[in-house]
């Protein structure tokens, strides 16, 4: 009989693998990646286009084009599309990144004929209705103006501007005038250039049947759109810029936001895996050094986080926190103190073991669902990473040493190289 008074023995997972997609081609050459590992009659369909921000002629062009795809087709207006998706229990999500745009459908298999038909109309027959565009524009302007009242938004905007420059794609921040400059002709131009069968790949995950494949062939297996070569409209190379200490005064704010960071190595750099471990140890989870020191011991903030934000050409290292105005300088001092400790003293094996367990557990949790597997492989493919990326990441977490982390801290966390931005009230 099981003795419930005894804790089951703990065992570390020795290897991490996720199912690889099977790659097929539709009749028109579109790549179709299949992840058939589900036991529930649900399917996720991801349409991925090289239609991100790097291909736009003006700010907001890629975002508005993607957003308007569900605002009316030649057969259904926006209300009918929303009503039909709701009736079939389906959900459509849309996102735009630097290099790609995404349209994602979640649907019960029994209603795939109807929901895939709506999805196909969205990318093949959008009308870019003027009235719908004005509604979307006004909603986005209002959201933009409200967001500018937040210290966190103002700090992030200034950080991006000074780290990358306002003429670089990563440093271009949208202004209200950019929303008003968007019109139907601008969106149609981008749509015709970027949304066509020669510029698309498809990911299917869940319970994939032959009927699913037949529906995909029917909907997307023929040439559609104005097929043409995809050309980037801006340079993504990041130039080294001197560190900057900036302040955004917001007199009515109840707290301040602090952002410390810099542009660092890309995902393809051999140090990238271990640098992610170092950043996690510093401030990437609840048991990190910054959370333990700045939040729990000193009480300067409710939360402080360190992260690596990947772009097509680098990783933006950022340490972020909201705090009372009077705690800004003590918080900054403690962040730099913790960085110095990482540079001067090797990490203890107990602390390193805890970080390993967290990162490996987090990786397992992130991709424990069949529908989340699409996210994994879309990330790998759109970032041009090797298929062994997750295996290599796991091995790096498993094998990193205190000496490795100390070397990385001295190389990438040098105080003199870090940009420091604060948004909030000015303290005398």
Domain parsing of the chain, residue ranges: 22-220, 245-424
pLDDT digits (tens, 9 = 90+) for 285-314: 999 999 999 999 999 999 999 999 999 999
**13: pLDDT strictly greater than 90:** no
- At residue 11, does pLDDT exceed 80? no
Q: Torsion angle, CA of 321/325/327/333, rounded to 10 degrees? A: 70
Model confidence, pTM: 0.92
Q: What is the mean pLDDT of residues 223-248?
A: 88
User: pLDDT value at position 365?
Assistant: 87
pLDDT tens string 331-349? 999 999 999 999 999 999 9
Answer for the pair 277, 396: CB distance below 8 angstroms, yes or no.
yes
Condensed to tens digits (0 to 9), the pLDDT of residues 238-247 reads 888 899 999 9
With residue 104 as reference, give the H or E element that holds it: strand 101-108
pLDDT reading at 266 higher than 90: yes
Which DSSP letter does residue 385 get? -
Does 271 have pLDDT greater than 70? Answer: yes
What is residue 236's predicted lDDT score, i.e. its pLDDT?
A: 85
In the predicted structure, residue 26 carries a pLDDT above the cut 90: yes
Q: Would you list the DSSP string of 219-244?
A: HHSS--S-------SS--PPPP----
pLDDT at 372: 87
Mean pLDDT of the chain, nearest integer: 94
Cβ proximity of 137 and 180 under 8 Å: yes
Which of 60-64, 363-367, 386-390 is predicted least confidently?
363-367
DSSP letter for 247, please. Answer: E
87-110 average pLDDT score: 97
| Cα dihedral 373, 377, 378, 381 in deg (nearest 10) | 180
What is the structure's pLDDT at 34?
A: 96
* SS3 at position 258: strand
**pLDDT of 282 above 90:** yes
Does residue 428 have a pLDDT over 70? no
What is the percent of the chain with per-residue pLDDT over 70, rounded to a whole number? 99
| 101 or 37, which is more confident | 101
Strand partners, 323: 256
Confidence category of residue 140, pLDDT binned at 50, 70, 90: very high
DSSP conformation class of 427 = P
Q: How many CB atoms lie within 10 A of CB 313?
A: 18
Fold assignment, 22-220: Cytochrome Bc1 Complex; Chain A, domain 1 (3.30.830)
Print burial letters for 21-57: b (CB count within 10 Å at least 16), e (below 16).
beeeebeeebebbbbbbbeeebbbbbbbbbbbbbbbe
How far is it, in rounded angstroms, from Cα 90 to Cα 108?
Answer: 7
Length of the chain in terms of residues written: 428
Please give the pLDDT value at position 226: 87
What is the pLDDT, as a whole number, of residue 40?
87
Q: What is the pLDDT of residues 359-386, one digit of tens each?
A: 999 998 888 888 888 999 999 999 999 9
Residue 199 has what pLDDT?
95
* pLDDT exceeds 70 at position 417: yes
Alpha helices in 72-220 (DSSP H): 78-87, 112-124, 130-147, 151-164, 176-180, 184-194, 210-220
The class level of CATH for 245-424 reads: alpha beta
* Residues in CB range of 164: below 8 A, 6 or more apart: 170, 171, 238, 241, 263
Among the listed ranges 11-20, 43-52, 70-79, 391-400, which one has the minimum average pLDDT value? Answer: 11-20
């Amino acid at each position: 009989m099981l003795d419930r008074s005894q804790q089951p023995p703990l065992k570390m997972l020795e290897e991490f693998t996720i199912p690889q997609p099977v790659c097929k081609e539709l009749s028109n050459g579109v790549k179709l990646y299949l992840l058939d590992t589900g036991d529930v009659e649900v399917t996720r369909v991801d349409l991925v286009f090289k239609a991100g921000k790097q291909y736009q002629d003006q700010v907001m062009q890629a975002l508005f084009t993607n957003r308007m795809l569900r605002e009316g087709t030649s057969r259904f207006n926006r209300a009918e599309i929303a009503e039909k998706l709701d009736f079939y229990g389906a959900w459509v999500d849309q996102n735009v990144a630097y290099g790609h745009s995404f349209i994602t459908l979640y649907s019960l298999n029994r209603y795939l004929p109807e929901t895939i038909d709506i999805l196909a109309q969205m990318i093949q027959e959008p009308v870019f209705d003027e009235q719908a565009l004005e509604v979307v524009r006004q909603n986005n302007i209002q959201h933009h103006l409200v967001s500018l009242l937040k210290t966190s938004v103002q700090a992030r905007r200034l950080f991006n501007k000074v780290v990358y420059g306002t003429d670089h794609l990563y440093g271009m921040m949208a202004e209200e005038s950019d929303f008003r400059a968007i019109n139907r002709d601008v969106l149609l131009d981008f749509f015709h250039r970027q949304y066509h069968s020669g510029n698309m790949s498809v990911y299917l995950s869940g319970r994939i049947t032959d009927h699913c494949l037949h529906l995909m062939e029917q909907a997307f297996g023929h040439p559609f759109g104005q097929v043409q070569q995809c050309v980037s409209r801006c340079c993504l190379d990041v130039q080294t810029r001197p560190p900057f200490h900036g302040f955004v005064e917001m007199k009515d704010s109840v707290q301040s936001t602090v952002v410390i960071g810099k542009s660092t190595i890309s995902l393809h750099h051999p140090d990238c895996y271990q640098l992610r471990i170092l950043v996690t140890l510093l401030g990437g989870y609840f048991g990190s050094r910054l959370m333990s020191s700045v939040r729990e011991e000193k009480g300067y903030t409710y939360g402080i986080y360190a992260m690596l934000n990947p772009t097509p050409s680098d990783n933006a290292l950022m340490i972020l926190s909201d705090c009372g105005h009077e705690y800004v300088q003590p918080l900054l001092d403690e962040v730099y103190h913790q960085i110095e400790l990482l540079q001067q003293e090797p990490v203890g094996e107990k602390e390193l073991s805890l970080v390993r367990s967290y990162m490996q557990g987090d990786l397992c949790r992130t991709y424990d669902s069949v529908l989340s597997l699409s996210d994994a492989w879309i990330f790998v493919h759109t970032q041009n990473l090797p298929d062994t990326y997750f295996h290599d990441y796991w091995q790096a977490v498993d094998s990193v040493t205190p000496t490795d982390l100390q070397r990385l801290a001295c190389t990438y966390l040098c105080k003199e190289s870090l940009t420091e931005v604060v948004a909030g009230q000015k303290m005398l």
